[in-house]
Chains A and B, each alone.
Chain A
Amino acid sequence: MKRPLVLAGIVAVGLALTATLAMAQASDSVLAQARADGLVGEQADGYLGFVPGAAISADLRGRVDQNNIQRRQLYTRRASERSVSVNEMAAAVACEVFQRPLIAVGEKYRTENGQWRQRTAGAAIETPSFCAN
């Protein structure tokens, strides 16, 4: 008797999940495009930042803020587990981002001193001094 209802419920949850995933993916591509366009970039503090002088739409600003809020949540949780400060956890992630690197050629990034640079094919990324080598 209750079978169809349960089935409908499962389908509904599935649809909602797909929609959420699609939205997350869309957000990803907008951010990826903005990074490629040099509007935003990774910073040495572990967050995304706006490149000065770039025209940032309200939509993009919202997506970047949302991304940073989620990052901060991750940092905060892990920092409390390891008894370190949130800034330290964020800095450790920044080191990974700069060293892997998760900054593509052509993308901009902000150094420890607050300077914006562009990653070029030839030059090495300026990694923060607090990172292990």
Chain B
Amino acid sequence: MRAALLTSLGAAILAAGCIPVQIQAPDEPIEINLNVNIRQEVIVRLERDAADLLDQHSDLFGGATP
């Protein structure tokens, strides 16, 4: 009983091993971009926050110079 189970299990594993697995290399090399780019759309979104910070903490930044 046990032997039969093991045999069938082995067969199953063998069969699985026969399924061709195709790994296709991508046409273009994978690029990992580690640049911490400042995104302009984020800056635009933060414009008001930046202005707030400057107004509330003018002591930390230079005086107004028109």
Contact = CB atoms under 8 A, between A and B. Distances in A.
Interface stretch (B6-14, B16-24, B25-33, B46-54): B46-54
Chain A's interface: helix, strand, loop or mixed, by majority?
helix
Nearest to A77: B53
Contact of A88 (B42, B62, B63): B42
B49 A102 contact: no
B12 to A, nearest CB: 49
Nearest to A42: B62
A70 B61 CA distance: 11
Given A87-B38, A88-B43, A132-B44, A67 B60 contact: yes
Interface size class of B (residues with CB under 8 A): 20 to 34
Contacts of B53: 74-75, 78, 93
A65 interface: no
Contacts of B50: 89, 92-93, 95-96
Interface in A53-111: 67, 70-71, 74-75, 78, 82, 84-85, 87-89, 91-93, 95-97, 100-105, 107
Interface string A121-133: 0000000101110
Interface of A: 24, 28, 32, 35, 42, 67, 70-71, 74-75, 78, 82, 84-85, 87-89, 91-93, 95-97, 100-105, 107, 128, 130-132
7 contacts: A42-B61, A67-B60, A71-B60, A82-B46, A89-B49, A92-B43, A103-B65
